[in-house]
Chains A and B, each alone.
Chain A
Amino acid sequence: MRTMKDYIITICNGTTCLNNGVRLLHDILEAQLEKAGLTDRVKINISGCLGMCNKGPILIVYPGYTIYGNVQKEDVAEIIEEHVLKNRPVARLAIQEDHLFNRFFRIFGDTQFFGKQLRIALRNCGIIDPENIDDYIALRGYEALAKVLTEMSSQEVIDEIKKSGLRGRGGGGFPAGTKWQFTANQPGDCKYVICNADEGDPGAFMDRSAIEGDPHTILEGMAIGGYAIGAKKGIIYIRAEYPLAVQRLRKAIEDARAHNLLGDNILGSDFCFDIEIRLGAGAFVCGEETALIRSIEGHRGTPRPRPPYPSVSGLFGKPTLINNVETWANVPVIILDGGNWFSTVGTENSKGTKVFALAGKVRNTGLIEVPMGTTLREIIYGVGGGLPDNKELKAIQTGGPSGGCLPAEYLDTPIDYESLAKAGSIMGSGGMIVIDEDSCMVDIAKFFLEFTQDESCGKCTPCREGTKRMFEILTRITEGKGQAGDIEKLERLGNMTKKASLCGLGQSAPNPVLSTIRNFRHEYEEHIHQKKCRAGVCTALLVYTILDKCVGCGACKRVCPVDAITGDKKTMHRIDPDKCIRCGMCMTKCKFEAITRA
Chain B
Amino acid sequence: MTPLEKIKKKRAESVNRILSKGYLSTTRVYVGMATCEIAAGSGDVMQVFREAIDKGEIKDVYLSQKGCAGRCNLEPTVEVVAAGKNPIKYGKVTAQRAREIITRHIQNGEVITDWIID
* B11 and A127 form a contact (CB under 8 A): no
B116 proximity list for chain A (CB < 8 A): 2
Tell whether A209 pairs with B68 under 8 Å between CB atoms, given A1-B114, A110-B86, A366-B73: yes
B34 proximity list for chain A (CB < 8 A): 208-209, 212-213, 244
Determine, out of A128-136, A279-287, A537-545, the stretch whose residues face the partner at the interface: A128-136
Determine, out of B53-61, B77-85, B94-102, the stretch whose residues face the partner at the interface: B77-85
Chain B CB count within 10 A is highest, among A4, A214, A363, for A4
Encode A231-245 as 1/0 by CB contact (under 8 A) with B: 000000000001011
**Bound form: Cα–Cα A149–B79 in Å:** 37
- Contact residues of A between 120 and 156, Cβ < 8 Å to B: 122, 124-135, 137-138, 140, 142-143, 145-147, 149-151
Nearest B residue to A269 via CB reads B3
**Bound form: Cα–Cα A401–B18 in Å:** 44
Tell whether A209 pairs with B10 under 8 Å between CB atoms, given A110-B87, A269-B3: no
**Bound form: Cα–Cα A352–B81 in Å:** 30
Q: B24 interface residue, CB < 8 Å from A? A: no
* B86 and A62 form a contact (CB under 8 A): yes
Q: B108 interface residue, CB < 8 Å from A? A: no
Nearest B residue to A355 via CB reads B70
* A267 and B7 form a contact (CB under 8 A): yes
A151 proximity list for chain B (CB < 8 A): 4
* A4 and B111 form a contact (CB under 8 A): yes
Tell whether A149 pairs with B3 under 8 Å between CB atoms, given A107-B81, A111-B118: yes
Q: A114 interface residue, CB < 8 Å from B? A: yes
Encode A44-63 as 1/0 by CB contact (under 8 A) with B: 00000000000000000011
**Bound form: Cα–Cα A149–B35 in Å:** 35
B71 proximity list for chain A (CB < 8 A): 113, 364, 366
Q: B65 interface residue, CB < 8 Å from A? A: yes
**Bound form: Cα–Cα A245–B34 in Å:** 8
Q: B52 interface residue, CB < 8 Å from A? A: no
- Contact residues of B between 39 and 91, Cβ < 8 Å to A: 64-73, 79, 81, 84-87, 89
Tell whether A268 pairs with B66 under 8 Å between CB atoms, given A4-B113, A209-B34, A212-B34: no
One of B4, B30, B86 near A63 (C-beta < 8 A): B86
* B66 and A126 form a contact (CB under 8 A): yes
Tell whether A134 pairs with B66 under 8 Å between CB atoms, given A4-B113, A107-B79, A143-B4: no
Nearest B residue to A124 via CB reads B67
* A138 and B14 form a contact (CB under 8 A): yes
A213 to chain B, nearest CB (A): 2
**Bound form: Cα–Cα A107–B78 in Å:** 12
* A214 and B113 form a contact (CB under 8 A): no
A127 proximity list for chain B (CB < 8 A): 30, 66, 69
* A137 and B11 form a contact (CB under 8 A): yes
**Bound form: Cα–Cα A124–B30 in Å:** 13
A129 proximity list for chain B (CB < 8 A): 64-66
A242 proximity list for chain B (CB < 8 A): 35
Chain A CB count within 10 A is highest, among B6, B32, B89, for B6
One of B10, B72, B113 near A366 (C-beta < 8 A): B72
* A146 and B6 form a contact (CB under 8 A): yes
**Bound form: Cα–Cα A125–B34 in Å:** 10
Chain A CB count within 10 A is highest, among B36, B81, B113, B116, for B36
- Contact residues of A between 454 and 480, Cβ < 8 Å to B: none
B10 to chain A, nearest CB (A): 6
**Bound form: Cα–Cα A108–B118 in Å:** 9
* B67 and A126 form a contact (CB under 8 A): yes
Q: A439 interface residue, CB < 8 Å from B? A: no
**Bound form: Cα–Cα A8–B85 in Å:** 11
A239 to chain B, nearest CB (A): 13
B79 proximity list for chain A (CB < 8 A): 107
A209 to chain B, nearest CB (A): 5
Nearest B residue to A209 via CB reads B68
**Bound form: Cα–Cα A140–B4 in Å:** 11
- Contact residues of A between 85 and 133, Cβ < 8 Å to B: 106-108, 110-114, 122, 124-133
One of A122, A128, A150 near B70 (C-beta < 8 A): A122
A367 to chain B, nearest CB (A): 4
B104 proximity list for chain A (CB < 8 A): none
* B14 and A367 form a contact (CB under 8 A): no
**Bound form: Cα–Cα A245–B32 in Å:** 14
Q: A186 interface residue, CB < 8 Å from B? A: no
**Bound form: Cα–Cα A174–B108 in Å:** 54
Encode B1-16 as 1/0 by CB contact (under 8 A) with A: 1111011101100110
Q: A205 interface residue, CB < 8 Å from B? A: yes
- Contact residues of A between 1 and 42, Cβ < 8 Å to B: 1-5, 8
Nearest B residue to A215 via CB reads B67
- Contact residues of A between 172 and 227, Cβ < 8 Å to B: 205, 208-209, 212-214
* A138 and B86 form a contact (CB under 8 A): no
* A125 and B67 form a contact (CB under 8 A): yes
**Bound form: Cα–Cα A364–B73 in Å:** 6
B66 proximity list for chain A (CB < 8 A): 126-130, 213
B47 to chain A, nearest CB (A): 16
B31 to chain A, nearest CB (A): 10
- Contact residues of A between 364 and 412, Cβ < 8 Å to B: 364-369
**Bound form: Cα–Cα A212–B7 in Å:** 24
* A113 and B117 form a contact (CB under 8 A): yes
**Bound form: Cα–Cα A146–B85 in Å:** 35
Q: Which 7 A-B pairs have the closest CB atoms?
A: A213-B67, A126-B69, A367-B70, A267-B3, A146-B7, A134-B14, A146-B3
Give chain B's interface residues, CB within 8 Å of chain A. Answer: 1-4, 6-8, 10-11, 14-15, 17-18, 30, 32, 34-36, 38, 64-73, 79, 81, 84-87, 89, 111, 113-114, 116-118
| Besides the known contacts A110-B87, A128-B67, A209-B70, 8 further A-B residue pairs in the complex with CB atoms under 8 A apart | A108-B69, A111-B118, A126-B67, A151-B4, A213-B34, A213-B66, A214-B67, A244-B34
5 pairs, CB–CB < 8 Å, chain A vs chain B: A3-B113, A113-B71, A126-B68, A150-B3, A364-B73
